[in-house]
Structure formats: structure tokens, C-alpha cells
Structure 1
Amino acid sequence: MKKVLTFVLTGLAISVAASAWAEGGNAEAGKTKSATCAACHGMDGNSTNPEWPKLAGQHANYLVKQLANFKDDARVNATMSPMAKPLSEQDMADLAAYYSSQAVKLGEADQAKVALGEQIYKGGNNATGVAACAACHGPTGTGNPASNFPALKGQHAAYTKAQLNHFRKGDRANDAGKMMRNIAAGMTDAEIEAVAEYIAGLK
């Protein structure tokens, strides 16, 4: 419980700047600016390629943080990094306002894997020190905008799996206090795949 509380407080502390940006966003302006993003993320933020994340319904603060991290190379991706470089703070806020206002299209989980996925998502793995995903991301995957923990429900399993693997290997390191890196480091391949599937089917 103490570890979870530390995670929450750390996330809350780093969300202040992103929150200030996101509050000034204009969804209509963001819709216009999202034309370039639509090729990968879909017109309404629901990507069809499972390797690209769904942005629809994601918390604005979180979206702003990720764009800022791509811009300043705190998070690196061959496609997103150059896309984010020319964005102003207002551009980021507008895009975040637009995508957060859209409804995520929920997915389906591989039923053969959801039992293990649900176990890890809701209860973690005490034997290996893996915290329950629900502690930060909520029982139904809606996240916690105040602490800048993203919504997960309906996200493509392939994308979630890839991000957990990036955290586990340390390729992605823009998580506050190494929260996700520490959690993913204790997860097996089977647990990562199962959790990703379970998240895809969350309603």
C-alpha cells in the first residue's frame, strides 16, 4: 500500500505543468490540427493499426505530457519524435483537448488469456512484487487524471504489450519515479501479454 501511495503522490506532483497546458486547449482548433495525426491515429483518435495507440478519450494532461516528452526527447520514437518537434505548447493543448473529447472504441480480449490478465490487473503478483494495475489505472481502466495516470481501457493489446516491453527493457523511461519500469521489470512475457489482452477488453 505504501508503494502505491508513493506512486500516486509522485504522479500528482509531475502532472501540474501538463495540467496548466491542457486547460488552455481548444478542441475545435485541435480537430483542425489533427489532420496530420489522422493517418496513424484515425480521424477520431481510434487507430485501426494495433501497433499505434488509440488516443480517443485519453486524459488531456497525459496527452500533453507525452507530446512534450517526444518534443524534448524524454520519450523517443522514430515517427512521433519528429512529428512533435514543431509543436507549440498551444498546439499540444489543442490536440489534447480534441482527442480527450472523443469516445474510445472498445476492443475485444483474447478470452484464453483474460483470467491471468485479470489476476495481474486487479491483484498484481505479490510473489514478484508486481503491483496491481488497477491501483493507478482504476478497476475499469479509466485512469486517474489528477495523478496523470492514463486511461487504458480498450487500448490495442499489441500497443500495450509493446509499451510494457519498452518499460521492462528501459527503452521507454518517461515514467515518474520509474514506476512503470519497476513494475514491468517483474513481469513475465505471459503476464505482459495477458494484461494487454485484458486491458483491450475492459469496458
Structure 2
Amino acid sequence: MESTEFIKESIGTLSRTWYGELKAKILGEYLKFSFLNDEEISLNTFSEKINDYFEKLSLKTGSNFETIIKQYLSSWDALIGKYIAREHNVKKNEAPLPLPRSRKYYNYAMEIRRTRSITMRQLVDYSRIMMCLYSSVIDSNNEVIDDFDYSANFISLEKMIACMKEEKSSAIMFKKKQFDIEDLYGLDTGTFIITMIMYCFIKDNQVEGEQ
């Protein structure tokens, strides 16, 4: 997947409402237009700005867009994996118990992560699973979760981003924040921007009446 394809299939399809939400989340803290007022920034102009960002990110990190997406997938796994319930232990000759619901969905997400070339549909599925799992982790005060709410109604971008900014690395000594977003053109900042795009796309495509 190229950045232009990703942007066309995500940002390019947003309704006016969710385009406005995404623009408000990204402009100011992450990107800015020096000579345009908010009302002058069309969807096409904003899409070009995001594509320019990913091109500069690629140049700065030496990573093509597929690698940037792989880093996004990896970063979400690092957030979630340790909180997912394990398979139930069973004694010899006993029938295996059903997988915990969280593990079942997480395993599916890992199948997507191992795919050589991620499609937009797979990226949406992965993002929704991981965002819903993370929301349950947050609400359980970072406890291991067996079950979770898969409704897009359940996820809050503000809550997720705030918690992601405070996440610590898994290093035993000298723990530091998991995400370094001080560098605008760093892979961690790229992960945050992709997260915002995917959140708005998922919410915009939520089925009406979905629970």
C-alpha cells in the first residue's frame, strides 16, 4: 500500500463531519498551514498535506510507507498484547475450552499483522479490534481482559491518545515513555497520526444503530 492509496481510501472518503473532526485533531498539535485559514483548507488540500507528511517521514526515517504501516501495527501490539487473556489450561484428555473472546479477536489481529501486504480492509479490521481492546484495558485499569466491547461507540480517541502519551516502555530498568512524539518526523508520531485517521474512518463508517 502506498501513502496516496491509503489517503484516498481513508481521508478521501470522509464525510464533512468526520473530516472536520480529523482536521481539528491533527492541525495545530502536529501539522499546520502557514498561509491558510481553517475555512480555506479543503479536503484535497488537507489530503495533500498528510501525503507530504508521510513523504517527509519516509525520507527522515528511511522507511517506505509499508514499513510505516508495519510499525503502526507493531506499536499497537506492544500496547495490547500483554493484557490479553491466555488460552485456558486443560488437563490431558480433556476437551479444550473456548478461547477467551479477547484472545480470539487478538489472534485474528495477529494474523492480519503477519500479512505481507496489508489491504485497507485489513487495516480497518486490525485498528478497530486493537482500539476496542485498548479501550477495555483502559477501563479495567490495565488488568488482563477476557472480554471486551467491540462496538465503535465504545472507543474514545481523546482517551486513547491521552493514555498512549503516558504509556511506559517494557524495559526492566530506566523505563521511559513508549512513544516519543517530540520528533514530528519520527515513526511514533506517524503512528499517532495514522491512529487518528483510522479512528475517524471507523467512526464515519460505523453502521447506524450499531451496539
Common topology (TM > 0.5) = no
Q: TM-score, normalised by structure 2?
A: 0.32
Bigger Cα Rg = 2
Bigger fraction of residues in helix: 2
Q: TM-score, normalised by structure 1?
A: 0.33
